[in-house]
Structure 1
Amino acid sequence: MATPRIELVDLRKSFGDNHVLGGVSLRVLPGESLVIIGGSGTGKSVTLKCMLGILKPDGGQVLIDGVPDDRADRAAFLSDFGMLFQGGALFDSLTVWQNVAFRLRQGPTRLSRAAARTRAIDKLARVGLGPETADLYPAEISGGMQKRVGLARAIAADPRVIFFDEPTAGLDPIMAGVINELIRELVTEMGATAVTITHDMTTVRTVADNVAMLHDGLVRWHGPVSEMDAASDPYLDQFIHGRAHGPISAVR
Structure 2
Amino acid sequence: MIELAGVTKSFGSNHVLRGVDLVVPKSESMVIIGGSGTGKSVLLKCILGLVTPDSGTITLDGRDVREGDRDAFLARFGMLFQGGALFDSLSIWQNVAFRLMRGPLKRPKSEAREIAIEKLRRVGLAPEVADLFPAELSGGMQKRVGLARAIAAEPEIIFFDEPTTGLDPIMAGVINELIREIVTEMGATAMTITHDMSSVRAIADRVAMIHGGKVRWTGPIAEMDATPDPYVQQFIHGRAEGPIEAVR
In structure 2, C-alpha distance between the alignment counterparts of 1:112 and 1:8, rounded to whole Å: 38
What is the one-letter code of the residue matched to 1:121? I
Deviations 1:53-83 (A, max 9, x none): 1100000011000001112521110001000
Contact 2:71 2:104 in 1 (8 A): no
> In 2, Cα distance between the equivalents of 1:228 and 1:28?
16
- Mapped partners of 1:44, 1:109: distance in 2: 29
Alignment match of 1:37 (pick from 33, 36, 51): 33
3-state SS of 2:226 partner: coil
Identify if the C-alpha distance between structure 1 residues 223 and 101 changes in structure 2 by more than 3 Å, giving closer, same or farther.
same
5+ residue gaps, structure 2, are none
**Aligned counterparts, 1:204-223, within 5 A:** 204-223=200-219
| Cα distance between partner residues in 2 of 1:245 and 1:127 | 40
SS in 2 for 1:134: helix
Structure 1 runs of 4+ off > 6 angstroms? none
Pairs within 5 Å for 1:6-85: 6-85=2-81
Q: Which digits, 9 at most, give the CA deviation of each residue in 1:188-213, with x for residues without a partner?
A: 00000000000000000000000000
Instruction: Assess if the C-alpha contact under 8 Å between 2:99 and 2:105 holds in 1.
Output: no
Identical columns (%) = 70
Instruction: Kindly provide the CA deviation profile for residues 152-171 of structure 1, in whole angstroms up to 9, marking residues without a partner as x.
Output: 00000000000000000000
Q: Whole-Å Cα distance in 2 between the matches of residues 234 and 20 of structure 1? A: 21
For 1:101 and 1:176, the matched residues in 2 are separated by 24
AA at the equivalent of 1:209: D
The alpha-carbon deviation at position 109 of structure 1 amounts to 3.8
Amino acid at match of 2:154: D
TM-score (norm. length: structure 1): 0.97
Q: Give the CA deviation at 1:130.
A: 0.8
User: How far 1:216 moved relative to its partner?
Assistant: 1.2
Q: Distance in 1 between matches of 2:132 and 2:69?
A: 35
SS in 1 for 2:209: strand
| Contact 2:84-2:142 at 8 Å conserved across structures | yes
Per the alignment, in what secondary structure is the counterpart of residue 128 of structure 2?
Answer: helix
2:221 corresponds in structure 1 to: 225
Question: What is the SS of the residue equivalent to 2:103?
Answer: coil
2:98 aligned to which of 72, 96, 102: 102
What is the aligned partner in structure 2 of residue 200 from structure 1? 196
Alignment of structure 1 residues 70-219 onto 2, 5 Å = 70-219=66-215
Question: Aligned with 2:131: secondary structure?
Answer: coil
Alpha-carbon shift at residue 251 of structure 1 (Å): 1.7
Contact 2:91 2:131 in 1 (8 A): yes
Give the Cα–Cα distance (whole angstroms) in 2 for the partners of residues 105 and 167 of structure 1.
25
Matched AA of 1:240: I
Structure 1 residue identity aligned to 2:126: G
The alpha-carbon deviation at position 36 of structure 1 amounts to 0.2
Determine the C-alpha separation between the residues in 2 that align with 1:126 and 1:109.
Answer: 21
